[in-house]
Amino acid sequence: MSIKQMPGRVLISLLLSVTGLLSGCASHNENASLLAKKQAQNISQNLPIKSAGYTLVLAQSSGTTVKMTIISEAGAQTTQTPDAFLTSYQRQMCADPTVKLMLTEGINYSITINDTRTGNQYQRKLDRTTCGIVKA
């Protein structure tokens, strides 16, 4: 039976089913993107956040990723190297219930430290795998 021979109701049902399946995937990504945007806005409302000689100065979203930028405080003596700070920060984030929920919803985090003393940049990516969250 060709498309021309299909009864109208069957064709419409088939098209709606295919459209529904395709939009389901798009809908999940759209929802994750909206969640990432909202999470970045929530973080931004509390900026700047200082800790151990570092300052979180920017949070923004890009698709399903929340990008956070941290700078080392100029002239401040940091108590941790950028790598050690990122490891500690990652541990704290992975333990946070809100972050865990975001990760299970498909949100990822990208954390960048701009070291103003050396000009070096350090980066970590957080997702379900790095935080040890098993997909249900």
61 forms bridges with which residues in the sheet? 66
Query: Is residue 77 in some structural domain?
Result: yes
Does residue 10 lie in a domain region? no
Question: What are the pLDDT digits (tens) for 26-75?
Answer: 466 788 999 999 999 999 999 999 988 899 999 999 999 999 999 988 77
Q: What is the pLDDT of residues 95-123, one digit of tens each?
A: 999 999 999 999 999 999 999 888 899 99
- Structural domain boundaries, residue 52: 32-126
6 located within any domain: no
The two structure tokens encoding residue 35: 């969640």
First to last CA, the chain: 41
Domain-located, residue 23: no
Q: What sign does the CA torsion over 84, 87, 92, 95 have?
A: negative
Domain of 114: which CATH number? 3.30.300.250
> Which residues fall within 8 angstroms of residue 24, CB to CB, at 6 or more apart?
none
Domain count, the chain: 1
The pTM score is 0.76
